[in-house]
Amino acid sequence: MSTRPSKTLETFPNPNPQRDYVIHMQIPEFTCMCPLTGQPDFAHFTLDYIPEERCVELKSLKMYMWAYRDEGAFHEAVTNQIFDDLVGATAPRYLRLTARWYVRGGIFTNVTVEHRAAGWTPPVPVSLPEFAQESALRG
């Protein structure tokens, strides 16, 4: 696998496709360029997804995100492009991508996009009483 920026997202087979589970990733060092001024823009991306048959390979995701460093892009456009590429590569049951853009001109921008596969229903979350959560943490 390359160690240079690339717009190719590699995947691997989901090791547990029989169950819903969340893969949570923090990508705190994203950069691209403002398409109007050429100045750098910085963002913290949060990726949460429930895989179907494919998972995204982490090094390829790192190289993919790096590929935007010298490109001019509006916050909304680049967030949606990354989202489309992730959904296209992995075809997940569910995917949420949130970009938290650092301040520019006194304004913070957050962009969130979601995908739900047709026919997929999220499981009902389990709500534990507060004392049960504390007991579980103590072991």
Q: Which positions are annotated as active-site residues?
A: 34, 41
Residue given tokens 């943490």 in the structure block: 137
Which of 95, 93, 97, 86 minimizes the C-alpha distance to 119? 93
Are 100 and 43 spatial neighbours (Cβ–Cβ below 8 Å)? yes
Are 13 and 54 spatial neighbours (Cβ–Cβ below 8 Å)? yes
CA distance 52 to 58: 17
Residue 43 to residues 60, 108, 113, Cα–Cα distance (Å): 19, 10, 15
Are 31 and 13 spatial neighbours (Cβ–Cβ below 8 Å)? no
